[in-house]
Amino acid sequence: MWLLRKCEKCEEYTLNLKKCPHCGGKVHIPHPAKFSPDDKYAKYKLAIRSSG
């Protein structure tokens, strides 16, 4: 489980799981998903990435 969170509004890092203590914004996990060569959704992810 990741403990570090990043605010979507002010982009500050925090350990708070619910909201940013600086601005009250929504927080999310800043780490990318783990890579797996057996990912059954890889072709869909690549299609989204190349179309955007």
3-26: average pLDDT: 92
Considering its fold, how many domains does the chain have in total? 1
Where residue 33 falls among pLDDT bands split at 50, 70, 90?
confident
Q: How far apart are CA 43 and CA 29, in angstroms?
A: 24
Higher pLDDT, 41 or 6: 6
Q: How far apart are CA 31 and CA 44, in angstroms?
A: 20
- Contact (CB, 8 A) for 13 and 4: yes
Domain, as residue range, for 11: 5-51
- What are the phi and psi torsion angles at 44 (to 5°)? -70, -40
**Residue 27's domain is classified under what CATH number?**
2.20.28.40
* Stated pTM of the model: 0.58
